[in-house]
Amino acid sequence: MLISQFAEHTGVPATTLRFYESAGLAPAGRTDSGYRVYGDRDVDRVAFIQTAKHVGLPLGEIRELLAVWEHDPCAEVRAQLRPKMAARLDEAATRTAELAAFTDTLRHALAQLDDLPDRAEPCDAGCGFLAPQPRTQVVDPPFAAPGAAITVPVDPPIACSLDAADHGERVHRWQQVLVDVVREPGPADVRLRLPIDRVGALAELAAAEQHCCPFYEFDLHLRGTEVILDVGAPAAAAEMVRALFGDGTSAPPAR
């Protein structure tokens, strides 16, 4: 099958197939004319990649597993894959607990909001619970009584937890969603205007980006037939913001 036929058969876009090839995941054969060509085994390979991505495995681990999948017995694939799946399950359980705690925080904030007096005056310090609060962690102080602890603010680090291959795929996905994006002035570091049919893809990407790069802040606003994406980040992350979303004079750069 040529790449267009293979994309239709597998449901994987041709752009993604080209990225898989460049990342060393799904090499394609070539015709005498230089066109990419795929066979039945490639269908199984791409299905393996898509399934592994669906359960949260990074591309680096998928590449290692593919080497086992290609040459070793199925039992060895299972032996390699099971501990990775168990680790993802533990991560999912942790994130579920964090989400439950965040849900409780929202319920508490909503209850406080409902208890505010109905008055005509502007908000004052009594409305302060609506403002974002600095994240904290408990640490043992260097000079304190035994067992004592202090609470200090903790800002998210200006770093991304993705490896090079996964970061390349993430940039590729942003490029696909941000085609023909319109940049406009706004309160955030970056404000982008797109058709509203991309809101689902934007929300998914923003959530994924914040999970690996927690210093980002994303806000989505619906405006008729369009969606507005506001992106905020600390000043120290300006270069990373420009690399992902452009510098205001052009579309987000290609990688």
Instruction: Evaluate if residue 123 carries a pLDDT over 60.
Output: yes
Range with the largest mean pLDDT of 25-39, 107-121, 237-251: 25-39
Instruction: Tell me the H-state helices in 116-215.
Output: 164-177, 199-212
pLDDT of residue 129: 53
User: Residues 145-176, buried b or exposed e (16+ Cβ, 10 A)?
Assistant: eeeeeeeeeeeeebebebeebbbbbbbbbbbe
pLDDT of residue 164: 64
Percent of the chain with pLDDT over 90: 13
Instruction: Match 């770093």 to its residue by tokens.
Output: 159
What's the rounded Cα separation, in Å, for the pair 24 and 15?
14
Instruction: Evaluate if residue 119 carries a pLDDT over 80.
Output: no
User: Tokens representing 63?
Assistant: 């590449």
Each residue's pLDDT tens digit, 190-225: 899 989 888 888 888 888 887 778 888 888 888 888
pTM of the predicted structure, to 2 decimals: 0.47
Q: Vertex 91, ends 88 and 94: CA angle to 5°?
A: 155
pLDDT of residue 37: 94
At 157, is the pLDDT very low, low, confident or very high (cuts 50, 70, 90)? low
pLDDT of residue 85: 84
pLDDT of residue 30: 93
Each residue's pLDDT tens digit, 24-33: 889 999 999 9
Each residue's pLDDT tens digit, 58-94: 888 888 899 888 888 888 888 988 888 888 888 888 8
Mean pLDDT of 230-245: 83
pLDDT of residue 135: 47
User: Tokens representing 97?
Assistant: 């607990």
